[in-house]
Every structure is written in structure tokens, then in C-alpha cells.
Amino acid sequence: MSYLLSILILLPIISGILIYLIPKRASLWVCIAAQIFQLGVSVYLMSLVKEGAIYFNIGRWIPPVGISLYADTLSMSFVMLSSFLFMMFVIFNSSRHYVDRMFYMLYLSLQGMIAGIFLMDDLFSIFIIVEVSTIVVSLLIMYKRDSRSMYDGLIYLLINVFSMTFYLFGIVVLYKITGTFSLRLNAEIVKQMTDARVLYFPYALIITSVSLKAALMPLFSWLPKAHGTPSAPSVVSAVLSGLYVKGGVYLFFRITNAFSVIDTTQFFFVSGVITAFIGLILALSQTDIKLILSYSTVSQLGIIMLALNLGDSEAVYGGFYHMVSHALFKAALFLCAGIIIEKYETRNINEIRGVFRTMPLVSIACIGAILAVTGAPFFNGATSKYMISHSTNSIFTEALLIFLNFGTVLYFVKFASIFPGKRREGISKVPINREIVLVVLGAFCLAGGIFGTQLIKILYGVDVSIEIGEYFKKSLIYFGTLGASLLLFRLKVLHNKFFDRLRTFDATFNTIALSLPLFFAAVLAYLIIS
């Protein structure tokens, strides 16, 4: 059954091409049928990898020759999540006027490439699929063809192509050393090497490119442009923030594991902390609801990177589960934001009021997603953040996590100011398919908290126990931070010149491009000194 791995990559791409060729009236049904089949295959393969990882070499070549696919519980959990969310996105967007056959082809092709990022075993194939997906993402960002989206899409394309040049040079140098592009074979060869210094240069090149994909500080400036560009369809923002950016974090984990003789956990722990803090501050300064969500993604990615570099297995699995949780609640938030922007015809949070009375179901789903991202008790974000916090014995780290979550609560208290107020007249009803998708995503955020330990067991085969006393203590801390955030918001602490100046921050292409060699130099210097 190993050949089914290739179906997970090829089926969305082939169905997208087929949809482009058939009449438009049949395209939606073909698309939904393909998504159901894709989800079914991913669930089936997830059940198989629990008995052992699956390896498939395309063309039956003997490794290290050929293109190889590798699936374990980690990669399949993200492929299964991707299949589910894309099905939700297709249903959500089925009634939009701009969704033509070309959009379906690009969107479904991206789905296949995201699956490829999680399943590809050899580094050169990853390079090819990431480069092609970069072009597809750029086209989706620019799909409505207004000047702002064209600019943001072009910036995204150029900076990501530039970063993958570092990756390409890195894997070429690595191939000269080890003689293979396979991640699995590289991991075995690296373990037997007596002098790790020969790996410093290729590792620094590769990890710099991957760190940009993971939006680490100072390489994150492209993310708000791509995820928060004004006219990008909300489903594009949702898939970028919910799924695509997770590919960078996933590759970071796989590559650092392959270079097991090199220890950069302290470097990337600090990078994660700085990324989380900078994302938090910039999210607090925004008045554009899409940019609040975009910078929130930067902050949450910093927390995930912090977890992956704590040096504890529970924290690592907590980071993985936070990636899954983030995909669900951030997808719901971007879809809700898209509806609100469309109905209110503004992105300014200060001009939007009365959303709860105007769109009650959308508001309930959005509030559920907000409770999840802020780590409210019984929601999925609480479970993942509990695992990350519980795994550390450092008072400093625990206090840091509390502070970062306090900031998250604060900017979502600001975001939630759109819900109270009088009903907005003259706003048409939200289509039922959109409300259903949002309610389903909100329900998954709640179920992911209530049944969090069972889901972690299903996804990763790891037993996690939650101590009631500690969970209660963390719940009290959450409500304390919520109360403090409400008080600070009432006192209008966020209305000051400092945040006004931060709001105008907009990194140019030259600034973003310069950050890449600087980050590479920092990684290389850390390796040499340490």
C-alpha cells in the first residue's frame, strides 16, 4: 500500500487539472469528491503508519537513487490535517464569484505540494516542490489582480526564491560530503562522522532557508505581506497561515534531526522567544484585523519553535500538537475575518462593531477560535500550551510562557472588541455553507481540548497525562491574565504613540533580503564559537 503515498501528492494536482478542463457547473462536485477521497486515503494511511513507518521509492529504484517518500505518524498527522482543512476550505468558498476553474487548479495543486513537503524524503525533491509551491502561492495572493496584492505577491515570490538559493547551495555541499540527498540516509551517515565541523557550512545554509519558511526573527517580514494582503481571498490567507507555514517548521524539525551531531537548540530557543515577543508587540499595534492575525501567527510560530528546542520530548509533542491546534483555530479566524471584512467593507477594527448581533453563528465560531488561541480551559490551545509549560523545570521559561500568553490574550481582547454593539443594518445573511464550515472548525477547537490527550495518543502514539491540580492552577492564571487584559484595554493602554509608530513598520524587499545573509552568518558564527 506504500504507493498510496504518491496518490496523496498526485490526486489534488490531477483533480485540479481535470476541473480546469471540464464545465464549470461540474467542477465543484468533482472537487468535493476528490477531497473526500483524499481525506479517506490519508486516514487509512494514518492507521497503517501506527504499525511502522512507510517508505516508498518512486520508480522502484534502489536508494539513494530515485525520488523517495517517507511517512510516519508525524508526517501523516499533518497530511491528514491538510486533507481535512482543504475540504473545509473548498466547501467554504464554493459560492464565491472569483472561484473559477483556474482558481481550483492552483488551489488544489498547492494542496498536493503541501502533502509533498510533508512526505518527501530527499532534499532535492523538497527543493523542487517548495519552489513550485512558491510560484503557486504567489499567483493565489495576486489572484484578484489589484496593485497591493500584486506587490505583496511579487515580494513573497522574490524573497522565497532568494532564500531557496541558500537551500540549494547547502544541499549541493552536503551531497558532496555524504553522497546522498536522502534525509534518512544522511541522518545515518552523519551519526558516524567524527568531525562535525565539515557540516557547519551546509547546515547553516539549509537551516537559514528553512528558518525563513518558518518565519523566524528576523526573517518573518514576508509573512504579514503574504497572509494579510488586503485583497487576497480569505481561504488563501487561511491555508497559508493554517497549513503552509507549518511546512517550514516541519522541515526545520526533520533537518535538525538529520544533523544530529550539531546542537543549535539554544540558538533557536532564543530565536523562538524573540520571534514570539516581536510578533506579539506588532500584533498589539495593529488596527487591521487581518494584520493582527498575521502577526499573531508569527508570535505562535515563535512559541512552537521555543517548544521544539526545550530539549524535552513532552515539549516537542506539545509543539506538534500546537501546530495542529494553530492550524484549526487560525483557519477559523481568517475565514471569519474574511466574512467580516466583506460585510463591513473595512479592515479597521475601530470601525467594526456589533458583529455578534449581526452574524451570531460566525461570532460564536470566531469566539471559540479566540478562546482556543489564547489557551482557555477545555480548548485545544490549553492542552498544547499545558504540555509545553509542564515539560519545563525552569521558572524563567514558565514565567516567559505566561507573559507570552498574556500578550496573546491582550491582542485578542482588542480583536474581540468587534463583537459588542448594535446590529449593523443592511448586511446580507451569511451563506449556510460558510456558517457550517466555521461551526465545524470551532467545534474541533473545543473537541481538541476536551479530548486532547486521546487525540495526541491517536496522532503520535504518546501517552500524556494531565494533572488536575496543575491544570486548575494554569486555568486560574489564564483567567487572571484575561482580567488584566480587559483592564488594560479599558484603560486604553494600547492607544499611544509607541504603537502608532510600530503600525507603520513595513520592511522593504532589500531589508528582508539583507536579513538572510545576516541570519546565515549568525548561525555559522554560533556553530564555530560553541
Q: Would you state the pLDDT for residue 155?
A: 84
Domain boundaries, the chain: 1-121, 314-490
Look up residue 353 and give its three cell numbers. 462593531
Question: What span, in angstroms and rounded, lies between the C-alpha atoms of 520 and 530?
Answer: 15
Question: What span, in angstroms and rounded, lies between the C-alpha atoms of 170 and 140?
Answer: 29
Could you say which residues of the chain have pLDDT below 70?
Answer: 1, 63, 95-98, 146-147, 228, 230-231
- Whether the CB-CB separation of 224 and 294 falls below 8 Å is answered with yes
For residue 167, is it left (φ>0), alpha (ψ between -120 and 50) or beta? alpha
Q: Would you state the pLDDT for residue 97?
A: 66
- Whether the CB-CB separation of 115 and 79 falls below 8 Å is answered with yes
Please write the tens of the pLDDT for every residue from 206-256. 999 999 998 888 888 878 877 767 667 788 888 888 888 899 999 999 999
Q: Would you state the pLDDT for residue 174?
A: 92
- Whether the CB-CB separation of 187 and 487 falls below 8 Å is answered with no
Q: Would you state the pLDDT for residue 149?
A: 73
Question: What span, in angstroms and rounded, lies between the C-alpha atoms of 130 and 381?
Answer: 29
469 φ/ψ angles, rounded to the nearest 5 degrees: -60, -45
Sequence-separated (6 or more) residues with CB below 8 Å from residue 52: none
Q: Give the global pTM.
A: 0.92
Neighbours of 443 (CB within 10 A): 14
Q: Would you state the pLDDT for residue 171?
A: 93
Question: What span, in angstroms and rounded, lies between the C-alpha atoms of 448 and 300?
Answer: 17
Q: Would you state the pLDDT for residue 444?
A: 92
H helices of 345-467, in order, are 355-358, 360-373, 380-390, 395-415, 432-450, 452-460
Q: Would you state the pLDDT for residue 513?
A: 83
